[in-house]
Amino acid sequence: MVLLNSAMVPLGTEAVDFHLKGVDDREHSLDSFSDSEVLVLIFMCNHCPYVKATIGRLVALAEKFRERGVLFVGINPNDAVNYPEDSFENMKVFAAESGMFFPYLHDETQEVAKAYDAVCTPDIYLYGSERRLLYRGRIDDNWQDESQVTSRDLQSAIETVLEGRPLSDEQHPSMGCSIKWK
């Protein structure tokens, strides 16, 4: 397991369009989510211990904010040939077992992860209604032990955006396993 921090893409960067198959067997694009005021893209996978440790928090946040126009979308870019746990079929199993009700998409070519400059799992990007990057960084300050969390960074960012206030440029990178490139 190689630990990496997110690349901290410049704030204001425009979201890149994509066309990816979801675990619901439907094709999804950036435009598929145009009704959402806030879009949270999470580059993630099934086998990463960082994702496994935080998926419950992500599902809970998605549930907390879904009635307020916030949509979470998971994207798995990992090489499923060398990491069969991250196959499309296993994505379906992981989504069901994790209680994921939000779209979970397969970036089989890895082109979307590269376009977003994603480097780790989870790697989190938050976009406002104009689909400009407002937040990129960690979920909170303790991926290993939720009971020890003192700063809920992603939740605070979502609340700030929904309140129409600007976010601080001081944001902490996400950390996790390296994306498993082909």
CB 36 within 8 A of CB 72: no
CB 44 within 8 A of CB 6: no
Could you read off the pLDDT of 60-114 as tens digits, one per residue?
A: 999 999 999 999 999 999 999 999 999 999 999 999 999 999 999 999 999 999 9
Q: In 3-state terms, what secondary structure has residue 111?
A: helix
pLDDT value, residue 172: 94
Name the phi and psi angles at 151, rounded to 5. Answer: -135, 115
Domain residues for the domain of 55 are: 3-178
CB 4 within 8 A of CB 178: yes
pLDDT band per the 50, 70, 90 thresholds, residue 147: confident
Please tell me the pTM assigned to this model.
0.95
pLDDT band per the 50, 70, 90 thresholds, residue 6: confident
Closest-CA residue to 156 (of 133, 176, 138)? 138
Q: Give the E-state strand segments of the chain in sequence order.
A: 3-5, 19-22, 27-29, 38-43, 70-76, 104-106, 120-121, 123-127, 133-136, 175-178
**Both tokens of residue 17?**
């369009």
Greatest Cα pair distance in the chain? 44
Could you read off the pLDDT of 14-33 as tens digits, one per residue?
A: 999 999 999 999 999 999 99
pLDDT band per the 50, 70, 90 thresholds, residue 1: low
CB 140 within 8 A of CB 47: no
Q: Indicate which CATH number applies to the domain containing 173.
A: 3.40.30.10
pLDDT value, residue 2: 67
CA distance 113 to 141: 24
More confidently predicted of 99 and 4 = 99
Q: Domains in the chain: how many in total?
A: 1
The percentage of the chain sitting over the pLDDT mark of 90, rounded to a whole number, equals: 87
pLDDT band per the 50, 70, 90 thresholds, residue 52: very high
